Every structure is written in structure tokens, then in C-alpha cells.
Amino acid sequence: MSDRMLTISMEINGTPTDPVDLPEDLMLLEYLQEYLNLTGTRYGCGQGVCRACAVIHDAPDGPKVVPACITGVAWANGRSFRTVEGHATRDDQGAITQLSAIQQAFLDHFSFQCSYCTPGFVASATALVERLETAPVARGDVEEVVLKALNGNICRCTGYVRYLEAARDVILSTPGLTTEEVAISDTAT
């Protein structure tokens, strides 16, 4: 760990953090877990490949999924992020009152066994749904779009099918996320 310190502040789950001096080479995942006690985001491979550590960066041009295990706090400084703890609706005491549509669909589809990868899948699927709110996809392209969005996430238990089905069902049942246009795959002959 570096001896050089940087003063860091960002927004996490809609709440600005207080400025804090952190080692310049500290990773976002370590900051979330060790400084903010947000332990839902998981450490998996440590190389940004498995996406168990994925969080949403609320970028000006739309949500981006970033691997928190290889994203430094120096880059994260001044930016806004959502962790798995930030998706559900909570009351004034912090108790969950309603899960997000993606979280509920993952439960309804029994998408996970050990749940280690689930926070990353929640981030990836949520970011996809939010992107579709501004750029809907043809109904016939939903399978391909979901597969592409979730393909980077690794699950060692369930074989992905239920995660994909849950995300697809949310997209198909949410007005405005799809269009009746001809699917890209139908036009490529």
C-alpha cells in the first residue's frame, strides 16, 4: 500500500461521503467495505473479470458497470456510484420496504444458490434496464441484449439461465423498454 495519501470524496447510493484521506492506490471495493461498511459488493477474482465486485457508476452519459476491485479511489474521486445496498427502497430507519424490479425478479426466478455473484448481476442487469429506458430495444433483440449485458458476470452455481430469464422478464414486462420494431437478427439474411 502506498504511503501517498489523497483526499477523496464521492457519492455512494445517493449520499455524498465526507472527504477522507486515503492511500492513493486503494481500490474502490476496499473503500466501500472497509471505510463505509458496505459489504454487499463482493471480492471475487481480484482482476475485474468475474464481476462479483461490479457497481454502477452514474456517469453523465448513463450508467456504467465498473469492477470495484480494480477501480482505484483516485479515479472514483468526485464520481457517483451505486452498490447493491442502494437499489432497494428503504424507510427512514434503513429497513428495506421494496426491492428493485431486478432484485425481485432474481428472487422470483430463484436465480442464485450461494449468491456470491448476485451483487454484480444486480448491477449489470439494473444498468441495462436503465439504458433501455432511454434507448429501447426491439422485442426480438431482448435475448441477445440481455446475454451481451450479463455475459461478463461469472456464476459458479446456477449456469446463468435464471439470471438471464429474470432480466429478460423484467425488460419484457416493463413498458417503454422495448419496441415492436423488427429485430436486428430478423433483418440479417
Are residues 116 and 164 located together in one domain of the fold?
yes
The closest of 72, 55, 68, 77 to 1, measured between CA atoms, is 72
Last residue within a domain, chosen from 86, 118, 147: 86
CATH number at residue 147: 1.10.150.120
Same domain, 66 and 120: no
Determine if the pTM surpasses 0.85. Answer: yes
Q: What is the CATH number of the domain that holds 35?
A: 3.10.20.30
Whole-number pLDDT of residue 51: 95
Q: Please name which of 53, 166, 42, 171 lies closest in space to residue 112, comparing C-alpha atoms.
A: 166
Domain count, the chain: 2
Q: Which residues pair with 98 in a beta bridge?
A: 89
Residue 154's domain comprises: 91-187
Residues in the chain: 189
Same domain, 41 and 116: no
- Number of other residues whose CB lies within 10 A of the CB of residue 186: 11
Please say which residue of 65, 86, 107 terminates a domain: 86
Spans in the chain with pLDDT lower than 50: none
Whether residues 121 and 178 fall in one domain: yes
3-state secondary structure the chain: CCCCEEEECCEECCEECCCEEEECCCEHHHHHHHHCCCCCCCCCCCCCCCCCCEEEEEECCEEEEEECCCCEHHHHCCCEEECHHHCCEECCCCCEEECCHHHHHHHHCCCCCCCCCHHHHHHHHHHHHHHHHHCCEEHHHHHHHHHHHHCCCCCCCCCCHHHHHHHHHHHHHCCCCEECCCCHHHHCC
| The predicted structure's pLDDT at residue 158 | 72
